[in-house]
C-alpha cells in the first residue's frame, strides 16, 4: 500500500498526450457485499486528473486509450485498470485486509503489522507534518496509547519528557531514541519534516533487541529517503504568534495592602502596612512580563528523487521560536540540512549513506524555579511597586534601594523599580530578564554509511558505521547589578566560555537470513554492535571586562590573574551481540524470540555483561476456518509477549571510587592539593532489569473501518539504579546502587474509526491508558528514597515502599480550628492537646504517628503526580478541498504540588484564593488565617490543604483548518499539491488547578549526575506556561 | 570473491566483541583503589582531612558554621538575619526550639562525620603504607588523630549521643548504635594523648597541628567533660586527670614559644594570622576558587565572617554582610567598662562613623551591634569568584589567652588570669575565684565561639540562668520585643537533636536525644 502511494507520488505530473481521447463510464461496487460505493477516487494514473464516484457509485471520465485508471477508497485494495478500448469499466473493490498488514519498522528491519507479536505504536509522516509540531516528541503526544508526552514548560526548545507505560525507574525514565538505527542522546537536532515514521516499541519483546538500554522503551525514528521517479521539490512553512494562554489570579494592590496590614507584615524597612493607604500603583506583573505576539516560524525546502540505481532525499530547514516570557532572552533557533542517499551498486550490493547537520542556538531563563525564576518573581512581586522608578529624588536619595547601588536600567536608560515591600529572590522580573546574557550554540553532525550484500538468496549481510559529533558552546557574561539587598552582584563584570565536544561512534554488523518453506516463513537475525561515547570539555572564565561594549566581552580581555580554566573528559564503551528469530505461518500464527548480550563499561568487572531474552507469539484467529462468522467483525488477533530489558544509565565509573582532587587546604604557605575518594565503591552494582508481560488484542470491524487495539501489561523493574543517600556517618557520598523493585501495571486501548460519505471523509481516533505505579521494594535500611525540595520547606516528594514512586510528602490536615474549644479538643492518647499553641483559624494537623505532637515525623504521602489515566483523541475531517483536524489530550487522577508562592517571604503577593482566609467573620474551612508570624506554620509546612491540588485536565491541544488548491488551479501553476492552513494550539484547557498551567513537567536530566528528573515531577514553582499559538502555514509540492 | 571478503570481514568483526573492548579508565582522575599508596598521596588525604576544618556546611546542605551557631546558642548573640524568614533555622537555635528536621542540624552532623571519615581513611592508609619511613607514618597518623579528636569533640559537644566509627566503613557496616558519651570522650582523649606524643613542637608549616595544639585541645576537652559528666578520661590506659592536663598546659606555656600579642586590637588582623598567640588556627582564603553557590563545601572562604558582617552599604571599610549572630545587649552591658568591649562589639554608631557611610540596614532581632572580631572587612574580601563566599579571615580556634585561662582554671592560680588582664591594662586580681575566671573568659574570649560551652559545662542551673534572657532588648531594638526573649530548654540539656533524616535512614537504629520527639 505504502509503496504504491510513494510510487504515485513520484510519477511525473504532466502527461504528454498522444493517444485517442474518449469517455469512460462505470460503477464501483464492494466485491463482497455487491453494494455500490460512493466517493471512490478514480484517477488517471500519473496525473492528478480524475473524479469521484457519485452517490450511486457511478463515474464518468475523459480519458485516453493508453491511460491506466486507479480506483482507491479507504478500507479497500486499490485497483488499476488499463483503459484500452473499453468505454465501460465496472470495478469490484476488494476489502483491504492488507490495511492491517501495513509495514512497521522494528529493530533491524521491518515487519508486517499483521504478524507483529509485540505492542508497537506507529506515527507516520502525515501525522507529523499535517499538524506541524515544534519538536519531534510532540508528534507522539495524544497519538499513541500509553505514551505520555509531558511538556516540561513553555520555554522554547525545552525537551518534553516521554514516559512509555509509566515511570519505569526512579532516576531517568526516558526512552532510548534511535534515528535510522543510530542510538542518539537527543533529538533536538531533528527537523520534524524529515521524519518518515516514528515507532514506539512499548512491550519488552519488541524493544529487547536493544536490550541494554531499552528498559524504558524505544523510539525508532526513520528519516525520509528518496524513491524512484521524477525529482520533486517541496516547500512547507508557517509563521505564527504566541501569547500566554492563562494567568494566575493574584491580589491587586488594594487587596494586597488589606491582607498585609491584617497579617501585621513588615515591609523592607520594618514598617507595618497601613490599611488605609491608597496605592499609587497597581502593577500586574504577569501583564508586564508576558511578551505579546512572540514570533514563531518554520521553513523547509526538500528535494527527493531517484532512479533504479540511486535515490536521494535532501532538505534544509529553519526554525525559530521566541518565548512568551523573555522574548529573545528565551529562544530556540535551529537550522538543519540533510542528505540521504541509497545506491544499488549491482545485483548483490547496496550502499547507503546519510549525513545531516544541525545548528541550534538556545537562550533560556529558569523555567520552574522558586529562586531566580522570572515568572516566580512576577507571581510573588507586590503590585504596589511600579515597573520603573522615574523620580530622580528617590533614585538619588534612597540609598537602600538605589543611590550608589548599580541598579538596572532599561534600554532607554530608565531605572527598573526596586520593591520597598518584598525582598529576597523576589525581584523586578523585567530587570532580572535584562541581565540574562547566556547563550548556548550547538553544532551537530550525524553521518552514517552502510553496505549490504546478498551473497546467496535470502542472506543479507549488512555493515554500518555512524558518528554523532557535536560541539556545544556556552557563552555568558555578567555585569554589575543591584535588584535588591539580597539579589545583587557587585564584583567586577566577568565573562565565561566553554566548549564541549561529544562524539559517539557506532559500528554494527548484522546478518539476516530469510527463508520460506511452504507457508512457513523464517527470518533469522544475528548481529553485533559497538558504541563508543567520548567527550571533552574545556571552559574558562575571567573578570574585568566592559560588558557595555559587546566587542570587548572576550576572555583574553579579562585581567590575567582572574582567569580560570577547567576541563574534563569521559569515555563510555558498550558492546553487544544479539540474535532474533521471527517465524510466521501463513501470516496467521507468528512467533518471535530474541537474545541479546550487552557489555557496558559503566559497570565493574563483576557485572559488566547482561543477558536479555524475550519471546512473543500472535495468532490471527479471524483467518481460521473455525472462527465464527460474527457480523461486522473483520479482523481478530491475539498476541502475547514476555521479555527483559536493561538500563545502564549511570555516570561512568560510578561503580568505582574515583579520587576527588577538587580539594585544597591553605596552610600559611598557601594552597595545598588534597585528595579523597569521591564515592563509596560499589563493585557489585549491576544492570537495572525490567521484565514485562504483554497481552494484546487487535480487532477490525466493518471491513476494518473501525479498528481497536487493547493491551494489558505488567512491567516489573528490578535492581533500580539509584544514587543512594546513606547515613552521614559513612563520611563520603554513596555510589550508585541497585535500590529496589518497581512495578507498572496497566492497560491501553486505541480505537480508530474512519469512513467516507460522499466527499466527506472523516476519522476519529481515541486512545486511553490506565497505569498503576507501585514501588514494591526499597532495598535500603530506611525503606524510602528522598525526593525533591521546594523553596525552604525541604523535602516535598518521597518514594516509599508500597506507594507510587515520588509521591508528594508533607503534613496531612484535618480542617481548620474554628474555636479555642476545638484546639483543646484535638488531643493525644494521653489527653494532652496536640497543638496547644494553635489559635482559631489555624490548620488542624493530623498526628499521623500518634506521639502527641506535630513534628516532621508526622509527614506522610499526600498524593501522586502520576496520572491514573491519560488519553488522547484526534479528529479529522475532509470535505472536498477543505480539511479540519483537532487533537485533544488529557489526564486524570494526578495531583499537583502548588508551590508558586514563597511563604517564607511574608510580603510576597498571593493567589486570590487567600481572600477566603479564616477570620472571625469568615469561618473559612479551606484557607487558614493569615499572620506574618504564622506560629502554627500553616503556610510554611507543605500540607494537603494548601499545596495539593487536583491536577486533572483536558486540553484542546491543536485545532487546524486547511484548504487544498483545486486540481484545475494546480495544473495551471504546474504543481501537484498546495495546501494552506491555519492552526491554533492550546485553544482551551479545562482544569480545576489554580496555577498557571496543569502540565507541570519535570526537568529531564541526561548528564548522569544523579539529579533525578522523576522526583521533581508535578511540583509547580511558577512554571513557564505554555503559549497559545496561532499559526498560518502552507505546503507546496512541485 | 568480493562477497567472500565481505563475509570474512563481517565474521572477524562479529567475533571481535570481547571483554577487552570494554576496558577503559576514568579520564582526569584515578580510582582510589590504586591511589593513596605513596607518601605524597597519603599526604593529600591528610590535606583533605584538614580541609574539613574549613568546611562550614555539610555536602549539599545548609550553611552551618560552628562559630555562628555556637554564638547564636549562647546568650552573647541573637540569630539575626534579614528578617524572621531569613535564617529561620538559625532562629530555632536561638530559641532552643530546634526541629530535628532543621537543615542546619543535619549539615553540622554531616560535616563532622566527613572529617572523621577522612581522618580514619588517612590513618588506615598510613598504617599500611610501604616505601616510607616510620617518622612519616607517625607524623601523619598523629596529625590525623588530632583532627579526628577535633571533629569528634565538636560532634559530641553538640549532639552528645553519637556513633563512633574509627575506621572507614562500608554502607552495610555503618548503621550502628550510638555509644555512650564516655566512650567518645575516651576516644578523643586517647587520640590526643597519641597526638601529643607524635606531633612536632614546630610544624613544617604554620597551619598544621603541633604538640601544643593537641595539649590545648586536650585541656578544653577535659574541662568540658569534667564539667558536664565528670566521669574521667581514660586514654587507652592513661588516666587523663586534672594533674595530667595541667602538666600539658604548663609545658605549653613554658616551652611552646606562644605568647600573648602586645596589643589586643591586633589579634584579629590579617597581620596576626598564624601569629604568636595562635595555638591552633583554621585557615580561610579567597583562593583557590573551587566552589560556588550550591557547592560551598569546596570553597576556601570564611562563611561565618560573611554571615556576621553588618548589612551596610557604601562603606569604605566593610562590605555588606548579613547580620547573623548579632551580639546581644546583655553582652554589651556586661562588657561595659572593659577595654575589650569596643574590640569585641562594633556598635552601629561606631561602625558608621568609622566607615564613612550613613547606611546600615536593620536586621531581624536588631540590636545595633555587630561582631568586631569576625566580620566583613574590605581587606579580607576575596578578590575573585563570588565575594560572599571568599572572606579570608582565619578562625582562631585556640588562642594562647585561652590556654592561660584554662591553666588558671585547672590550677587555681590567679597569676595566669592576671597575665591576660595585664595585656589590656587591667589591674591584677588579688585571688582566684571561679566567678572571676569565667568573667575573664567572657571578657577576653567573647565572640569566638566558646561562650555557650563555657556556660553548659558549669551545670544546668547556670545554663538555665545564663541562657534564658527575657526582656533585654537594648536601646536600638526594632519590632516585636518578644523576638528577643529566649528560654533555655532544660529537657535537652543544651544538646541538639539527632537529625530526622539520619533517624529515618537508620530505620530506628539511631535514638533521638532527650527533649526532642
Model confidence, pTM: 0.84
Judge whether A781 is closer than 8 Å to chain B, CB to CB. Answer: yes
pLDDT (0 to 100) of residue B4: 58
Mean pLDDT computed over B130-150: 96
Give the span between the Cα atoms of A517 and A513, in whole angstroms: 13
| pLDDT higher than 70, residue A1009 | no
**The C-alpha cell that represents A235 in the structure block:** 516547500
CB contact under 8 A, A665 and B35: no
Query: What would the pLDDT profile of B48-90 be if each residue is shown by its tens digit?
Result: 999 999 999 988 788 999 999 999 999 999 999 877 767 788 9
Q: Do A674 and B273 count as a contact with CB atoms less than 8 A apart?
A: no
Buried-state track A615-643, b at ≥16 Cβ within 10 A, e below 16: bbbbbbbbbeeeeeeeeeebbbbebbbbb
Q: Is residue A559 pLDDT above 60, yes or no? A: yes
Report yes or no: B60 and B67 within 8 Å, Cβ to Cβ.
no
> Dihedral, CA atoms, B310, B315, B317, B319, nearest 10 degrees?
50
Digit-coded pLDDT (tens) for B447-478: 999 999 999 999 999 999 999 999 888 777 76
Q: For the stretch A181-204, what's the b/e string if a residue is b when 16 or more beta carbons lie within 10 angstroms of its beta carbon?
A: bbbbebbbbbbbbbbbbbbbbbbb
DSSP state of A479: -
pLDDT grade for A3, boundaries at 50, 70 and 90: very low
Tell me which residue of A447, A6, A449, A466 sits closest to A225, measured CA to CA. Answer: A6
Give the cell for residue A789. 525540595
Which residue of chain B comes nearest to A676, CA vs CA?
B45
CA closest to B51 among chain A residues: A665
- Asked if A865 and A895 count as a contact pair (C-beta separation under 8 A), the reply is yes
The number of angstroms, rounded, from the C-alpha of A174 to the middle of its chain's C-alpha atoms is 9
Distance CA A479, CA B262 (A): 45
What percent of chain A lies above the pLDDT cut of 70?
A: 96
Contacts of B41 in chain A (CB under 8 A): 675
> What cell was used for B384?
575573585
- Residues of chain A in contact with residue B22, where contact means CB-CB under 8 angstroms, are 573-575, 599-601, 608
Q: Can you state the angle between helices B400-411 and B434-445, rounded to 10 degrees?
A: 170
Q: What is the pLDDT, as a whole number, of residue A97? A: 55
Q: Does A347 touch chain B (CB under 8 A)?
A: no
Across B45-49, average pLDDT? 97
Average pLDDT, integer, range A85-106: 76
Contact list in B for residue A730 (CB cut-off 8 A) is 113, 117, 169, 171, 174
Of the residues A421, A676, A798, the best mutation for testing chain B's interface (the one with the most B CB atoms within 10 Å of its CB) is A676
pLDDT digits (tens, 9 = 90+) for A143-161: 888 888 888 888 888 888 8
Q: What is the pLDDT of residues A397-436, one digit of tens each?
A: 887 788 888 899 999 999 999 999 998 889 999 999 999 9
A428-442, A674-688, A780-794, B181-195: range with highest mean pLDDT: B181-195
Cβ within 8 Å, pair A528-B290: no
* Cα Rg of chain A, angstroms: 32
Tell me which of A164-173, B17-26, B232-241, B495-504 is least confident.
B17-26
pLDDT of residue A20: 66
Report the mean per-residue pLDDT for chain A: 88
Contacts of A266 in chain B (CB under 8 A): 83, 479
Q: What is the 3-state secondary structure (H, E, C) of A719-788?
A: CCEEECCCCHHHCCCCCEEECEEEEEEEEEEEEEEEEEECCEEEEEEEEEEEEEEEEEEECCCCCEEECC
pLDDT more than 90, % of chain B: 75
Cα–Cα distance measured from residue A987 to residue A989, given in angstroms and rounded to the nearest whole number: 7
Tell me what percent of chain A is helix, strand and coil, each rounded to the nearest 5: 10, 50, 40
Which tens digit of pLDDT belongs to each residue from A241-278? 999 988 999 999 999 999 999 998 888 877 889 999 89
Contacts of B50 in chain A (CB under 8 A): 665, 667, 674
Nearest-by-CA chain A residue for B115: A731
Provide φ and ψ at B60, rounded to 5°.
75, 15
Q: How far apart are the C-alpha atoms of A738 and A778, rounded to whole Å?
A: 9
- Contact flag A675-B47 (C-beta cutoff 8 Å): yes
- Closest-CA residue of B relative to A677 is B32
Question: Where does the pLDDT of residue A40 fall: very low under 50, low under 70, confident under 90, or very high at 90 and above?
Answer: confident
- The dihedral built from the CA positions of residue B148, B152, B154 and B155, taken in this order, carries a sign that is positive
Q: What is the distance between the alpha carbons of residues A870 and A410, in angstroms, rounded to a whole number?
A: 45
| Contact criterion met (CB < 8 Å) for A453 and B506 | no
Distance from CA of A285 to the nearest CA of B (A): 24
For A881, the enclosing helix (H) or strand (E) is none
pLDDT at A405: 85
Query: Measured between CB atoms, which of B4, B32, B387 is closest to A659?
Result: B32
Residues of B within 8 A of A724 (CB-CB) are 171
The count of other CB atoms within 10 Å of the CB of residue B34 is: 11
- What is the H or E stretch that residue A320 is in? strand A310-323
Which residues have a Cβ under 8 Å from the Cβ of B275 and sit 6 or more positions away? B261, B267
Question: What are the residue ranges of helices labelled H in A235-342?
Answer: 253-262, 285-289
The grid coordinates listed for A444 are 551537530
Q: Given a cut of 90, is residue A123 above it in pLDDT?
A: no
Instruction: Give the range among A262-271, A337-346, A503-512 with minimum mean pLDDT.
Output: A262-271
The mean pLDDT value of chain B amounts to: 92
Average pLDDT over residues A837-864: 91
User: How many Å lie between the alpha carbon of A677 and the closest alpha carbon of chain B?
Assistant: 6
pLDDT band, residue A16 (cuts 50/70/90): very low
Nearest-by-Cβ selection for B505 from A576, A727, A731: A727
**Between A405, A677, A730, which is nearest B174 by CB?**
A730
- Using an 8 Å CB-CB cutoff, list chain A residues near B147: none
| Best to test chain B binding among A264, A420, A527, A728 (most B CBs inside 10 Å) | A728
Tell me: the pLDDT tens digits for A736-771? 888 889 999 999 999 999 988 888 999 999 999 999
Amino acid at each position: 500500500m505504502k509503496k504504491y502511494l510513494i510510487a504515485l507520488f513520484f510519477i511525473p505530473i504532466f502527461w504528454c498526450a498522444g493517444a485517442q481521447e474518449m469517455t469512460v463510464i462505470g460503477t464501483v461496487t464492494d466485491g463482497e457485499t455487491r453494494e455500490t460505493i460512493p466517493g471512490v477516487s478514480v484517477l488517471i494514473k500519473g496525473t492528478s486528473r480524475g473524479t469521484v464516484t457519485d452517490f450511486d457509485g457511478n463515474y464518468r471520465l475523459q480519458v485516453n486509450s493508453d491511460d491506466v485508471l486507479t480506483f482507491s477508497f479507504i478500507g479497500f485494495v486499490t485497483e488499476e485498470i488499463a483503459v484500452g478500448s473499453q468505454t465501460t469499466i465496472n470495478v469490484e473493490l476488494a476489502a483491504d485486509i492488507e490495511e492491517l498488514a501495513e509495514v512497521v519498522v522494528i529493530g533491524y528491519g521491518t515487519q508486517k503489522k499483521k504478524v507483529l507479536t509485540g505492542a508497537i505504536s506507529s506515527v507516520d509522516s502525515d501525522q507529523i507534518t499535517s499538524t506541524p509540531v515544534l519538536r519531534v516528541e510532540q508528534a507522539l503526544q495524544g497519538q499513541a496509547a500509553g505514551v505520555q508526552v509531558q511538556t516540561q514548560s513553555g520555554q522554547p526548545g525545552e525537551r518534553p519528557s516521554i514516559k512509555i507505560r509509566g515511570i519505569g525507574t526512579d532516576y531517568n525514565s526516558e526512552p532510548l531514541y534511535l534515528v535510522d538505527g543510530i542510538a542518539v542522546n537527543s533529538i533536538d537536532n531533528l527537523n520534524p519534516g524529515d521524519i518518515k515514521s516514528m515507532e514506539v516499541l512499548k512491550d519488552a519483546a519488541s524493544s529487547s533487541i536493544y536490550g541494554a538500554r531499552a528498559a524504558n522503551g524505544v523510539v525508532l525514528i526513520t528519516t525520509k529517503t528518496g524513491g524512484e521517479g521524477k525529482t520533486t521539490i517541496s516547500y512547507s512553512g508557517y509563521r505564527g504568534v504566541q501569547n500566554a494562554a492563562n494567568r494566575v489570579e493574584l491580589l491587586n494592590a488594594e487587596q494586597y495592602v488589606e491582607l498585609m496590614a491584617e497579617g501585621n507584615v513588615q515591609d523592607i524597612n520594618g514598617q507595618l502596612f497601613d490599611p488605609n493607604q491608597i496605592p499609587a500603583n497597581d502593577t500586574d506583573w504577569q501583564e508586564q512580563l508576558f511578551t505579546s505576539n512572540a514570533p514563531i516560524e518554520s521553513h523547509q525546502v526538500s528535494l527527493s528523487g531517484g532512479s533504479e540505481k540511486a535515490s536521494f532525499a535532501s532538505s534544509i530547514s529553519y526554525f525559530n521560536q521566541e518565548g512568551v516570557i523573555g522574548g529573545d532572552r528565551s529562544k530556540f533557533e535551529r537550522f538543519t540540512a540533510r542528505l540521504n542517499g541509497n545506491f544499488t551498486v549491482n545485483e548483490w550490493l547496496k550502499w547507503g549513506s546519510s549525513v545531516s547537520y544541525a545548528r541550534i542556538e538556545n537562550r533560556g531563563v529558569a523555567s520552574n524555579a522558586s529562586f531566580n525564576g522570572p515568572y516566580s518573581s512576577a507571581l510573588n512581586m507586590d503590585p504596589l511597586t511600579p515597573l520603573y522608578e522615574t523620580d530622580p529624588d528617590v533614585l538619588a536619595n534612597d540609598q537602600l534601594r538605589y543611590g550608589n547601588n548599580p541598579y538596572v536600567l532599561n534600554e532607554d536608560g530608565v531605572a527598573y523599580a526596586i520593591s520597598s515591600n518584598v525582598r529576597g529572590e523576589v525581584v523586578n522580573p523585567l530587570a532580572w530578564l535584562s541581565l540574562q546574557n547566556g547563550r548556548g550554540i550547538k553544532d551537530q553532525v550525524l553521518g552514517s554509511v552502510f553496505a549490504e550484500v546478498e551473497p546467496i538468496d535470502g542472506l543479507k549481510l549488512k555493515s554500518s558505521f555512524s558518528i554523532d559529533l557535536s560541539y556545544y558552546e556556552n557563552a555568558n557574561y555578567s555585569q554589575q547589578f543591584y535588584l535588591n539587598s539580597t539579589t545583587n552582584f557587585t564584583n567586577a563584570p566577568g565573562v565565561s566560555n566553554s566548549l564541549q565536544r561529544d562524539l559517539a561512534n557506532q559500528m554494527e554488523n548484522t546478518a539476516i537470513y530469510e527463508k520460506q518453506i511452504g507457508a512457513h516463513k523464517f527470518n533469522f537475525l544475528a548481529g553485533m554492535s559497538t558504541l563508543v561515547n567520548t567527550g571533552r570539555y574545556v571552559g574558562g572564565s575571567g573578570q574585568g571586562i566592559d560588558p557595555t561594549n559587546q566587542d570587548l566581552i572576550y576572555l583574553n580581555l579579562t585581567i590575567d590573574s582572574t582567569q580560570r580554566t577547567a576541563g574534563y573528559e569521559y569515555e563510555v564503551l558498550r558492546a553487544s551481540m544479539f540474535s532474533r528469530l521471527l517465524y510466521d505461518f501463513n501470516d496467521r500464527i507468528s512467533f518471535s524470540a530474541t537474545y541479546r548480550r550487552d557489555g557496558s563499561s559503566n559497570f565493574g568487572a563483576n557485572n559488566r555483561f547482561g543477558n536479555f531474552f524475550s519471546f512473543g507469539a500472535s495468532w490471527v484467529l479471524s483467518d481460521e476456518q473455525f472462527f465464527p462468522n460474527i457480523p461486522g467483525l473483520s479482523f481478530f488477533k491475539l498476541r502475547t509477549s514476555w521479555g527483559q530489558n536493561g538500563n545502564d544509565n549511570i555516570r561512568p565509573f560510578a561503580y568505582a571510587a574515583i579520587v576527588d582532587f577538587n580539594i585544597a587546604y591553605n596552610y600559611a604557605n598557601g594552597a595545598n592539593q588534597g585528595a579523597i575518594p569521591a564515592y563509596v565503591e560499589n563493585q557489585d552494582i549491576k544492570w537495572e532489569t525490567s521484565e514485562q508481560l504483554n497481552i494484546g488484542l487487535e480487532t477490525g470491524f466493518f471491513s476494518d473501518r473501525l479498528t481497536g487495539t487493547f493491551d494489558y501489561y505488567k512491567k516489573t523493574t528490578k535492581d533500580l539504579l539509584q544514587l543512594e543517600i546513606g547515613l552521614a556517618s559513612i563520611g563520603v557520598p554513596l555510589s550508585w546502587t541497585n535500590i529496589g523493585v518497581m512495578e507498572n501495571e496497566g492497560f491501553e486501548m486505541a480505537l480508530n474509526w474512519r469512513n467516507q460519505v460522499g466527499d466527506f471523509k472523516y476519522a476519529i481516533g481515541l486512545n486511553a491508558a490506565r497505569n498503576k505505579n507501585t514501588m514494591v521494594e526499597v532495598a535500603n535500611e530506611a525503606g524510602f528514597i528522598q525526593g525533591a525540595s521546594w523553596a525552604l520547606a525541604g523535602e516535598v516528594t518521597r518514594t516509599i515502599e508500597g506507594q507510587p514512586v515520588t509521591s508528594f510528602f508533607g503534613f496531612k490536615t484535618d480542617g481548620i480550628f474554628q474555636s479555642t474549644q476545638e484546639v483543646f479538643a484535638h488531643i493525644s492518647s494521653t489527653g494532652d492537646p496536640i497543638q496547644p499553641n494553635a489559635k482559631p483559624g489555624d490548620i488542624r494537623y493530623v498526628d499521623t504517628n500518634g506521639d502527641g505532637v506535630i513534628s516532621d515525623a508526622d509527614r506522610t504521602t499526600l498524593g501522586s503526580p502520576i496520572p491514573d489515566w491519560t488519553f488522547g483523541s484526534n479528529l479529522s475531517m475532509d470535505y472536498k478541498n477543505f480539511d479540519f483536524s483537532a487533537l485533544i489530550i488529557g489526564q486524570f487522577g494526578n495531583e499537583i504540588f502548588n508551590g508558586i508562592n514563597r511563604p517564607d517571604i511574608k510580603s510576597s503577593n498571593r493567589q486570590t484564593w487567600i481572600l477566603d482566609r479564616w477570620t472571625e467573620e469568615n469561618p473559612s474551612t479551606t484557607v487558614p488565617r493569615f499572620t506574618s508570624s504564622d506560629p502554627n506554620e500553616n503556610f510554611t509546612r507543605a500540607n494537603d490543604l494548601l499545596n495539593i491540588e487536583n491536577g486533572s485536565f483536558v486540553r484542546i491541544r491543536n485545532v487546524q483548518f486547511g484548504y487544498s488548491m483545486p486540481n484545475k488551479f494546480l495544473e495551471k501553476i504546474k504543481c501537484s499539491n498546495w495546501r494552506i492552513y491555519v492552526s491554533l494550539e492550546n485553544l482551551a484547557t479545562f482544569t480545576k488547578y489554580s496555577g498557571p498551567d496543569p502540565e507541570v513537567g519535570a526537568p529531564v536530566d541526561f548528564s548522569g549526575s544523579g539529579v533525578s528528573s522523576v522526583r521533581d515531577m508535578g511540583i509547580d514553582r511558577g512554571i513557564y506556561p505554555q503559549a497559545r499559538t496561532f499559526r498560518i502555514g502552507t505546503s507546496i509540492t512541485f | 570473491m568480493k562477497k567472500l571478503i565481505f563475509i570474512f570481514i563481517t565474521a572477524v568483526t562479529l567475533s571481535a566483541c570481547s571483554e577487552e573492548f570494554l576496558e577503559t579508565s576514568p579520564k582526569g582522575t584515578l580510582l582510589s583503589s590504586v591511589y593513596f599508596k605513596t607518601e605524597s598521596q597519603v599526604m593529600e588525604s591528610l590535606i583533605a582531612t584538614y580541609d574539613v576544618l574549613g568546611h562550614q556546611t555539610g555536602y549539599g546542605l545548609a550553611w552551618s558554621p560552628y562559630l555562628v551557631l555556637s554564638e547564636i546558642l549562647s546568650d552573647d548573640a541573637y540569630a539575626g538575619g534579614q528578617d524572621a524568614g531569613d535564617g529561620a533555622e538559625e532562629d530555632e537555635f536561638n530559641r532552643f526550639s530546634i526541629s530535628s528536621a532543621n537543615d542546619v542540624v543535619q549539615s553540622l552532623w554531616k560535616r563532622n562525620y566527613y572529617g572523621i571519615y577522612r581522618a580514619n581513611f588517612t590513618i588506615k592508609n598510613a598504617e599500611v603504607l610501604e616505601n616510607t619511613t616510620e617518622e612519616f607514618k607517625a607524623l601523619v597518623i598523629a596529625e590525623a588523630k588530632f583532627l579526628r579528636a577535633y571533629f569528634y569533640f565538636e560532634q559530641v559537644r553538640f549532639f552528645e549521643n553519637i556513633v563512633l566509627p574509627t575506621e572507614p566503613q562500608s554502607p552495610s557496616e555503618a548503621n550502628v548504635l550510638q555509644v555512650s558519651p564516655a566512650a567518645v570522650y575516651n576516644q578523643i582523649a586517647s587520640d590526643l594523648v597519641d597526638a601529643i606524643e607524635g606531633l612536632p613542637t614546630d610544624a613544617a608549616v604554620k597551619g598544621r597541628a603541633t604538640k601544643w595544639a593537641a595539649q590545648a585541645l586536650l585541656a578544653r576537652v577535659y574541662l568540658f567533660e569534667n564539667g558536664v559528666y565528670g566521669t574521667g578520661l581514660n586514654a587507652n590506659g592513661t588516666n587523663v586527670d586534672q594533674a595530667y592536663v595541667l602538666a600539658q598546659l604548663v609545658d605549653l606555656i613554658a616551652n611552646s614559644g606562644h605568647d600573648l600579642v602586645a596589643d589586643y586590637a591586633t589579634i584579629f588582623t590579617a597581620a596576626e594570622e598564624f601569629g604568636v598567640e595562635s595555638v591552633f588556627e583554621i585557615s580561610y582564603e579567597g583562593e583557590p576558587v573551587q566552589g560556588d553557590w550550591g557547592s560551598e563545601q569546596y570553597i576556601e572562604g570564611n562563611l561565618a565572617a560573611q554571615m556576621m558582617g553588618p548589612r551596610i552599604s557604601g562603606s569604605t571599610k566593610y562590605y555588606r554582610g548579613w547580620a547573623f549572630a548579632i551580639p546581644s545587649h546583655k553582652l554589651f552591658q556586661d562588657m561595659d567598662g572593659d577595654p575589650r568591649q569596643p574590640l569585641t562589639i562594633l556598635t552601629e554608631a561606631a561602625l558608621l562613623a568609622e566607615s564613612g557611610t550613613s547606611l546600615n540596614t536593620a536586621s531581624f532581632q536588631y540590636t545595633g551591634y555587630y561582631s568586631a572580631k569576625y566580620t566583613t572587612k574590605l581587606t579580607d574580601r576575596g578578590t575573585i569568584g563570588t565575594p560572599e563566599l571568599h572572606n579570608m579571615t582565619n578562625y582562631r580556634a585556640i588562642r594562647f589567652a585561652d590556654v592561660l585561662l584554662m591553666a588558671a582554671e585547672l590550677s587555681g592560680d590567679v597569676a595566669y588570669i592576671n597575665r591576660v588582664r595585664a595585656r589590656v591594662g587591667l589591674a591584677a586580681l588579688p585571688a582566684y575565684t571561679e566567678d572571676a575566671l569565667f568573667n575573664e573568659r567572657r571578657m577576653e574570649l567573647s565572640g569566638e565561639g566558646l561562650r555557650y560551652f563555657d556556660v553548659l559545662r558549669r551545670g544546668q542551673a547556670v545554663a538555665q540562668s545564663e541562657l534564658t534572657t527575657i526582656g533585654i532588648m537594648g536601646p536600638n531594638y526594632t519590632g516585636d520585643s518578644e523576638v528577643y526573649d529566649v528560654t533555655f530548654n532544660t529537657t535537652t540539656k543544651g544538646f541538639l537533636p539527632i537529625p530526622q533524616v539520619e533517624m529515618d535512614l537508620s530505620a530506628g537504629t539511631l535514638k533521638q536525644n532527650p527533649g526532642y520527639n
